[in-house]
Chain A
Amino acid sequence: MSELASALADLDEDRVKTLVREKVDAGVDPMSIVDECRRGMDIVGERYKKREYFLSELIISGEIFKEAMAVVEPMLKAGKQAEPISRMVLGTAKGDIHNIGKDIVATLLKAAGFEIYDLGIDVAPGKFVEKLTETGAPILGMSGLLTPSFGAMKETVEAVEAAGVRDKVKIIIGGGIVTEQVKKYVGADAFTDDAAEGVEICRRFATEAR
């Protein structure tokens, strides 16, 4: 494991900043810097699975990753772009304005190499469908913390079906109170109340979509 990946995995914020700056100044290929950071994030994910890390470490690593990307991204924009591992439309369901779970998952998914179309909070079913149709993204993620969001998620799944793209889109729902029962009610393909598990499920969906 590279020193940068290791520093990120160990949540050593200062060391990550220094190493990224040194590499950028030395003219290292920005994509290789991104790859090293992603390897660090993968290790964070592995430690989370082993319960060595908690949600707090996912948050901290995500913030450190964002800081690193803020330095690297201007160079990426100037040079060649990496292909995302998949694309995903994400948002909090209609009637619900909670953002924190969605934002944490969005950061982790971006770090894992997904291109995220984050529609924000209180997203109407039609808006989700519009973005799915426009982008051809094969994954839809909806978040909600309130029970009324279940109805809005269900309406969204129905709208995806009505638009004729349900067979091309995998749908995952997330939030503190979603359960298997809610997944069935909504008609989603997966559910989670765990940000890291959500990323794993989306990775699986991305592989299946290829």
Chain B
Amino acid sequence: MTSKERIEAVIKLEPYDRVPVAPLVDVMFPSRHKGMTVAHGISRWREGFQAILDVYDEVSGWDAMILPGYSLPLTLTVAAGVMVSLGSGRYRFPGQDPAVSVDSQPQYEERELLTIEDYDEIIKLGWSGFAEKNRERFTPFAPEAIISWTERQTAHYIKEKETWEGRGIPSLCGAIIESPLMFFSTKRSLISFTMDLHRIPDKVQAAMDAVVDEFIAEAIGATRLTGIPGVMLILERGGGFYYPLKIFERFEFPYMKKMVEAFAAKGLLTVLHFDQDWTINLPYLRELPKKMCICELDSTTDIFKAKKILKNHMCVMGDVPASLSSIGTPEEMEGYCRKLIDIVGKGTGFILSSGCTVPADAKFENFKTMIYTAKNYLPAR
């Protein structure tokens, strides 16, 4: 099988010749491996992207890019640009912020970027209306400059995708979007948003209702521009690590389901990018469109339970722990990957991957072992 055939088979839960491997690798680890600082790799697109390609060549390749590089796929709108600016407001970047080492990944500071009063305006104006009206709060750039920036980002994204296509490697996601809960939690801050859910649940729900269709449209629009029929849906804050099921059932799952169904109706795959522990939420995922999702786990959700629950329904991807990549040994890495392949990879429906992004300080030998094990360990079936 080619990489493309293997990936298509695993998503459709059809037999594969071996477990495919697709690390979520961005510029951080490759930059450090190639002797650059993370800050350098992030700020120089050509060099940073080349570092990813070099790592790919050094390990003789893998099967797919979850995201093709580190540009952003966006519609060419002010609202899309403002959404990125707003989200970036909580990040502190290496090379731009003295508090963050030049060799660190971008770090985030939990703080309120949206106020409690903003709910009312979002309910009234929707996301685009709110973003356009409040643009100057979140970015110093004029609308024309924002749109030019979204054009450049998306052009880079397409170039990254085409580069991988030239190597026979598919990219899975042509858009990135947060669920409404994830959006409001990260923009209000975890503590304030949790208190909002406690004190003003109806208003929070009304704000989520006001944005969800526009989030869907943004993602579908971006996939049309990038030409990749898949969406990464960013999910962290709505799961069982943080909230009881009554919160999930009201504020997360209906929106997640609406989004995934809308994407599936357009023929788009959804990569459910789960950070943190979602083990108690896994049974709900069986209500999502069959064979149209990948459940991507970061090592905190029980991937073995995920396999049992989601078998015959959706592909599971993950979940090499970040700590194993950075302080483990190649032997430990091989042992863990073999266990995943043996149990989660049995039959079909499993992509071996890093649990979330490959950390900046991952050991190259460990990374290489993860790729090598997927490609060479063939358990008796």
Per-residue B-contact encoding for A33-62, CB less than 8 Å = 1, 0 else: 000000000000000000001111101100
A148 at the interface (CB under 8 A from B): yes
The smallest C-beta distance from A123 to any residue of chain B, in angstroms, reads: 12
User: Which residues of the partner chain A approach B328 to less than 8 Å between Cβ atoms?
Assistant: 181
The smallest C-beta distance from B160 to any residue of chain A, in angstroms, reads: 25
CA distance A20 to B105 in the complex (A): 45
A100 at the interface (CB under 8 A from B): yes
User: Which residues of the partner chain B approach A56 to less than 8 Å between Cβ atoms?
Assistant: 194, 197-198, 242-244, 247
A interface size (C-beta, 8 A):
33
Q: B198–A60 contact, CB under 8 A? A: yes
Binds A, one of B146-154, B262-270, B319-327, B372-380: B319-327
B96 at the interface (CB under 8 A from A): no
Q: A193's closest neighbor in chain B, by CB?
A: B300
Interface residues, chain B, CB within 8 Å of chain A?
Answer: 92, 99-101, 103-105, 107-110, 189-191, 194-195, 197-199, 240-244, 247, 276, 299-300, 321-328, 332, 359-362
CA distance A179 to B324 in the complex (A): 9
User: Which residues of the partner chain B approach A99 to less than 8 Å between Cβ atoms?
Assistant: 109-110
User: Which residues of the partner chain B approach A63 to less than 8 Å between Cβ atoms?
Assistant: 191, 195
Q: Using A60-B194, A147-B326 as known contacts, say yes or no to A55 and B109 having CB atoms under 8 A apart.
A: no
Q: A150–B327 contact, CB under 8 A? A: yes
User: Which residues of the partner chain B approach A54 to less than 8 Å between Cβ atoms?
Assistant: 240-244
Of B191, B197, B324, which is in contact with the most chain A CB atoms at under 10 Å from its CB?
B191
Q: A146–B107 contact, CB under 8 A? A: yes
How many pairs of A and B residues are in contact by the CB < 8 Å rule? 96
CA distance A98 to B190 in the complex (A): 13
Shortest beta-carbon contacts, A-B, top 10: A147-B326, A147-B359, A100-B110, A59-B194, A54-B244, A56-B243, A97-B107, A55-B242, A185-B327, A177-B322
A11 at the interface (CB under 8 A from B): yes
CA distance A60 to B243 in the complex (A): 11
The listed residue (A60, A96, A178) touching B195 by CB distance below 8 A is A60
A73 at the interface (CB under 8 A from B): no
The listed residue (B109, B198, B322, B326) touching A97 by CB distance below 8 A is B109
Q: B108–A59 contact, CB under 8 A? A: no
User: Which residues of the partner chain B approach A53 to less than 8 Å between Cβ atoms?
Assistant: 244
Q: B190–A182 contact, CB under 8 A? A: no
CA distance A151 to B360 in the complex (A): 13
Q: B99–A97 contact, CB under 8 A? A: yes
Q: B323–A59 contact, CB under 8 A? A: no
User: Which residues of the partner chain B approach A79 to less than 8 Å between Cβ atoms?
Assistant: none
CA distance A60 to B199 in the complex (A): 10
Q: B359–A181 contact, CB under 8 A? A: no
CA distance A181 to B194 in the complex (A): 32
Q: A122–B327 contact, CB under 8 A? A: no
